[in-house]
Amino acid sequence: MAFDSHQKREFKQVGTRPPRPDGIDKVTGRALYGADVSAPGMLTARILRSPHPHAKIVAIDTSEAAALPGVKGIVTGADFALPDDEFFADIAVNVMARDKALYDGHAVAAVAAISPAVAAEALKRIKVTYEVLPHVTDVDAAMRADAPVVQPGRAVETVPAGMGANVTHFCEFGHGDVADGFAKADLVVERSFRTAATHQGYIEPHACLASMTADGKADLWCCTQGQFNVRTICATLLGIEASQLRVSASEIGGGFGGKTTVFIEPVALALSRKTGKPVKLVMTRDEVFKATGPTVSTSIDVKIGMTKDGRITAGEAVLRYSGGAYPCGTVDMGAQAAFAAYDLAAVRTTGWNALTNRPKEAAYRAPGAPQAIYAVESVVDELCLALKLDPLDVRIRNAARKGTKSSYGPTFDDIGLLATLEAAKAHPHYTAPLKPGQARGLSCGFWFNFGGNTCVSLNVNTDGTVGVTEGNPDIGGSRASISLMAAEELGIEYDKVRTIIADTSSLGYNDVTDGSRVTFSVGLATIKAARDAIGKMCGRAAKIWGIDEDAVEWRDGAAHPAGPNAGQFPPMTLAEIAAVSFQTGGPIAGHHEVNVDGAGVSFGVHLVDLEVDSETGATKVLRYTVFQDAGRAVHPDYVEGQMQGGAVQGIGWALNEEYIYGRDGRLQNAGFLDYRVPVASDLPPIDTVILEIPNPGHPYGVRGVGETPIVPPLAAISNAVSRAIGVRMQELPMSPPRILKTIRAARA
Amino acid sequence: MRYEKPQTVAEAARLLTAEKGLTRILAGGTDVLVQLKAGMVEPELVVDIKALPGLRSIVSEAGGFRIGAAVSGAQLGEDAEVRALWPGVVEATNLIGSTQVQGRATMAGNLCNASPAADSVPALVAAGAVARIAGPGAARDVPVEAIPVGPGKTALKRGEFITSIFLPARPARSGDAYLRFIPRTEMDIAVASAAVSLTLDEGGTITAARVALGAVAPTVRLVEAAAAAIVGTKLEDAAVAKLAAACSAACSPIDDKRGTIEFRTEVAGVLAKRAARIAYTRAGGQA
Amino acid sequence: MSISVSTTVNGDAVDFICNPEESLLDALRGRLGLTGSKEGCGTGDCGACSVTLNGRLVCSCLVLAVEAEGAEIGTVEGLASADRLHPLQQAFLDHAALQCGVCTPGILVAAKALLEKNPDPSDEDVRYWLAGNLCRCTGYDKIVRAVQSAAAQMRSA
């Protein structure tokens, strides 16, 4: 995409920090989230889940439950179409099991009843006959030839000898002669790493309210990152047409990727269809952990060669990911991202996915990248230590830059890695003295950023205000950013613009809020929709002035004659043009529909200081600074918010968060008590430094910022812990028992 | 489920005794409601004891304090006199859960929930606290360590419940402390914990001590060998090392999602060592 | 068996009918339509349902609805007056201390209880007091700053 001339202009609105439009609703408790709406006469639904990690479902007897007074409807897997397409079929089977329960918590039946108490009682009366099967939850074990087969017939055709039937995916990336590169190195380090599955941990459990009538018309209210995606999936699973299903996205209480798919929505719709009443379905926290998207769990080998002066000669990584009980391509993104920060002559990554008896993976903030980059950045740190090199200097020396052929193929355009590394080096944090027992760690991070299908309408109201209608749920302040860009482009005040999120019947298709795409893609479409409206407003002014449309230009929120030859007319503001629009041709609106390309990649660098209690293995994070290229920070408060929030999720991943399975294959910690997300007292302030290296693919230079910040903390913390205790940590999370064991083993 | 809120102890005992099915006492409810929500218990009767006379008050008695069974952690923490006499007990109680949980949770409930990891219990055991039990018969006093008999199980008989916990008077130059290990800084269940209560003579030599450990055995464990290791010492390094070793030797923990046997055994000793130093300083000893 | 409960919510006398098993949170949301308090876990681990009960900060998911009889309850809906946000609410907007906002009601109620008890807390005081209020979006940084800003403003008012 061509570099946009507007990109270098002086911004009046973009870069300021006005209050968010949904703010007062959210601080007064008025904002309506998934579970906050009810319908007259609605029923309450509950889902029965398998207690077994792997079991054949021999029979489901619902007769006793159905006979319970107040029970209005029961559905099982038989009530849903099984689409031919594998993508939809896997979702269908995950939403409601068919012949087999594939993990602890897999849905097997659902009930709609007149009250939560009746629904809960009905679940107890559903009799499921299981034939328990051997299970596997560990990725390495699952890849072996003798592992229990999670889903027969899903293995990738290229599975080599020695790998089992659970291996569903293979990928390979890279360039150059890796063997030659290692031969040129002064030191080659090869290490293996493991990372636990983690959960997005959004505070709002999945919730929806469905209403479907006998003629096939349906309305669905739900918390989702993408109402259009929900419509597509639900319409497919229920065998109805997209036009008949209107999906409205509620305010969303966090998603981080985990609400980019569906779990309960088709169930609520099916129960509504069956009972003829609205049905509300809200997950418990236990269900959220057991049955919604954790990340992949991984096992990774990394080998890197380096010269004495810090030049990386070659890099190689083998990644084994498990996305749970269904085929999963997330390893692709890990294999592509692993070495993205480096300019390498020789690099190769290969990736495998294995099925395990765990819940179906859902996206989590930069899916696949944190694990791979953790492994690579750990080995780079070990090389720096062994060769006595400054870890920032080494990264600067080897940094990917404009013109670098990336490790995954494309050649980078303008990217901000070098500037970000140099900012870190110049920052006082990097040279602040450390006390005895304290250590500093750092890591680079990377995310591709997405564009995608986007559709925006912009309506100019007759009172000179503007409504922007977009189709991506606002997950962290994006309505403010979109309003800022509309105001900027139109040349009007921020508070003259109101941005709303449309339901699926009110706007064209939009991809889900994912891949850090919204401020970039929706912003781009908003700017272009504003330009569309500006064109129309210039036309109206031309008409009023009786001059050519081409002789009118838009400046500072008003139409002006383009030059002395165009005539002498006082400028007409947006409000003035809008006020007479009914007399000049009718309402004024701008639109833009596009499949956006050109999302510029995003790099970040994190610095952390911490100390480890060598008697207990407890880690205390003392100081944390995030450096990241935002391209252009539209609303810096929310850019900082993404950087801080992502960093803290990464800190949690590094130190304490993990899915813990028992020998029985059951999840041991399905709650916030033992799935330990960071609490306020665990953390220091998270300082932020925003770099702005404009993305050539966006009119204002915007890059997505949401995902990159979860990537560096894993290795930054691990590198600091390893330096603090003098032993390389190779497994996440670095819970106190693991650290203490590592310290003891090293001393023994 | 029925809910009753009796106004007298006798009425409460009557209700509990008359009910044939499962009963639960409701004071702070921070354990009971979680169990109800999870479907772990389905009681026929819940008896709310917060309206019973004296159950929400703290009164001085014989140089110590009688803490009503419905006194919340927050209320206890605001009592400067109790805090001055038994700082370790108050700190331990204030470690239970969040600020929100502190608004409701009680020491008596923590004791009767009978979790080996209960925060207040090691401190109460080290303090030599005594529970007063009401029921169908006459009230009786029982040392707190005799209440839990295993995870989730107490020595209370049918119809019985705790009405107060008595923290005794203590000699001059006494101090207590409680430390627990959790992976985060808040909101976790103790992986291992230790409480130490001790008294010094004028020269700073320990004349009496009680050491209790949590989360390392089916019930909170009073470790007499650990106390013996420091009595007669000024808590010199050698004595502290013996204390830690005695504590680790007394552990018989389990491997679970919160910690390993190895970790709990080692860290219990570390915590006892650190708690002993705090208690010693509080007692006026020069460390 | 249904029980009739008379209570006071945000200064207003209200009555509702509930089942004995029902939590105060369920009653606030379901019986009284006050959906500002959120259920994030139902087990007292996330703080999204924080309310005050007779002046004490509690998780309303860990209180039986019947216990509200005769009590004074404060929820997020009671923070603002008709024409003015509470200083904490304004500070949360000014400091962008929320992203998704679902934890915000509980945090505001908890922070208000803190500042009533301790008008001049340290950052560490704020962080420990709010440790029972999980926020997954912000990393807490801007929340702590917003609470301190509101505290300073309330001290000077």
**CB-based contacts of B186: which residues, under 8 Å, 6+ apart?**
A679, A681, A682, B98, C128, C131, C132
Among the listed residues B215, B204, B210, B201, the one whose alpha carbon sits nearest the alpha carbon of residue B229? B210
Contacts of B186 in chain A (CB under 8 A): 679, 681-682
Q: Does A678 touch chain B (CB under 8 A)?
A: yes
C positions 46-75 inside 8 Å of B (CB): 47, 50, 53, 56-59, 61-64, 66-67
Residue C56 predicted with pLDDT over 50 = yes
- Homologous superfamily, domain C87-156: [2Fe-2S]-binding domain (1.10.150.120)
Q: Are A711 and A604 in contact (CB under 8 A)?
A: yes
pLDDT digits (tens, 9 = 90+) for A640-661: 999 999 999 999 999 999 999 9
Q: Return residue ranges of chain A for CATH 3.30.365.10.
A: 5-31+451-588, 297-449+600-747
Segments making up each domain of chain C, as ranges: 3-78, 87-156
Output the average pLDDT for chain A.
Answer: 96
pLDDT at residue A2 above 50? Answer: no
Closest CA to A55 of A664, A658, A668: A664
Query: Which domain does B127 fall in, by range?
Result: 2-48+57-167
Distance from CA of C43 to the nearest CA of B (A): 5
Examine the fold and report which residue of B113, B142, B167 is the final residue of a domain before the chain moves on.
B167
Nearest Cα to Cα of residue A419 among A690, A711, A688: A690
* Cα B42 off chain centre by: 26
Contact (CB<8Å) C99/A476:
yes
Average pLDDT of C91-108? 98
Is residue A1 over pLDDT 60?
Answer: no
**Where, residue-wise, is CATH 3.90.1170.50 in chain A?**
38-133+201-291
From the candidate CATH numbers 1.10.150.120, 3.40.50.300, 3.90.1170.50, 3.40.630.10, the one assigned to the domain spanning A38-133+201-291: 3.90.1170.50
Q: Is B262 on the interface with A (CB under 8 A)?
A: yes
Q: Are the CB atoms for B96 and B115 separated by under 8 Å?
A: no
What is the ipTM metric for this complex?
A: 0.98
Task: Provide the token pair at C59.
Answer: 């998780």
Rounded distance between C-alpha atoms, residue A601 and residue A599, angstroms: 6
Place of tokens 């890197």: A304
Quote the pLDDT of residue A7: 53
| Residue at a domain's end among B167, B185, B212 | B167
Kindly determine whether residue B181 and residue A616, on different chains, have CB atoms separated by under 8 Å: yes
Average pLDDT over residues A503-527: 97
| pLDDT tens-digit map of A592-632 | 999 999 999 999 999 999 999 999 999 999 999 999 999 99
Please give the residue that has the higher pLDDT: either A287 or C157. A287
- Are the beta carbons of B187 and A617 separated by less than 8 Å? no
CA distance A526 to A531: 8
Class of domain A5-31+451-588: alpha beta
What's the total number of domains in chain B?
2
Give the pLDDT of residue B286. 86
Return the pLDDT at B287. Answer: 66
Pairing relationship of beta strands C12-18 and C3-9 according to DSSP bridges: antiparallel
Q: What is the pLDDT confidence band of residue C138, given thresholds at 50, 70 and 90?
A: very high
Q: Write out chain B residues lying below 8 Å of A660, CB-based.
A: 257
A214/A253 Cα distance (integer angstroms)? 32
> DSSP string covering A646-678, please?
HHHHHHHHHHT----B-TTS-BS--STTTS---
- Between the alpha carbon of residue B116 and those of residues B128, B179, B252, the distances in Å are 17, 15, 12
The owner of tokens 């229990």 is A148
Domain C3-78, classified CATH 1.20.140.10, yes or no: no
- Residues of chain C contacting residue B100, judged by C-beta atoms under 8 Å apart: 44, 47, 50, 57-59, 62, 110, 132
Element (DSSP H or E) covering residue A588: strand A588-596
Q: Is residue B159 part of a domain?
A: yes
3-class secondary structure, A58:
strand
Same domain assignment for residues B186 and B251: yes
Is pLDDT of B110 > 80? yes
CA B266 from chain centre, in angstroms, equals 22
* For testing contact with chain C, the best of A22, A27, A643 (most C CBs within 10 A): A27
pLDDT of B198 > 50? The answer is yes
Bond before A571 cis per omega within 30 degrees: no
Region C32-46 average pLDDT: 98
Q: Left if phi > 0, otherwise alpha if psi is -120 to 50, otherwise beta: which for C32?
A: alpha
For chain B, say whether A656 makes contact (Cβ under 8 Å).
Answer: yes
Residues 6+ apart with CB under 8 A from A586: none
How many A-C residue pairs are in contact by the CB < 8 A criterion? 181
Contact B33 C53 (CB under 8 A): no
Among candidate residues B167, B185, B215, the one where a domain is terminated: B167
Residues B214 and B273 occupy one common structural domain: yes
Chain C hits for A606, CB-CB cut-off 8 Å, are none
pLDDT computed for residue A3 by the predictor = 44
Q: What is the DSSP string of A258-303?
A: TTSS-SSHHHHHHHHHHHTS-EEEE--HHHHHHHS-B--EEEEEEE
Judged by a CB distance cut-off of 8 A, whether residue B23 touches chain C is no
- Residue A311 exposed, middle or buried by CB count within 10 Å (0-12, 13-18, 19+): middle
**C140 close contact with A: CB closer than 8 A:** yes
CA of A680 to nearest chain B CA: how many angstroms apart? Answer: 9
Domain contains B287: no
Task: Kindly report, residue by residue over B7-17, the tens digit of the pLDDT.
Answer: 999 999 999 99
Judge if B102 and B234 occupy the same domain: no
Residue A278, C-beta contacts closer than 8 angstroms, at least 6 positions apart? A39, A40, A41, A42, A43, A209, A210, A211, A272
What dihedral do alpha carbons B20, B22, B25, B26 form, nearest 10°?
Answer: -120
- Token reading at A316: 């190689």
Distances (CA, A) of A311 to A306, A341, A409: 5, 14, 21
Asked which of A11-15, A104-108, A158-162, B2-6 is least confident by mean pLDDT, the reply is: A158-162
Neighbours of chain C (3+ CB pairs under 8 A): A, B
Pair (B38, B132) in one structural domain? yes
**What does DSSP say about strands A43-49 and A279-282: parallel, antiparallel, or unpaired?**
parallel
Tell me the three state secondary structure of residue B154: strand
Chain C (86-125) residues lying within 8 Å, Cβ to Cβ, of chain A: 89, 92-96, 98-105, 108, 123-124
Confidence check: pLDDT of A13 > 90: yes
* CATH class as words, domain A297-449+600-747: alpha beta
CA of A441: how far to CAs of A196, A394, A438, A558, B129, in Å?
21, 14, 10, 52, 47
Q: Regarding beta strands A347-354 and A312-322, do their DSSP bridges make them parallel or antiparallel, or are they unpaired?
A: parallel
Q: Does the residue B34 lie in any domain? A: yes
Residue C57 Cα distances to A191, A324, C70, C85, angstroms: 49, 40, 17, 20
> What confidence score (pLDDT) does residue A159 get?
84
Find the length of chain C: 157
Chains that touch A (3 or more CB pairs under 8 A): B, C
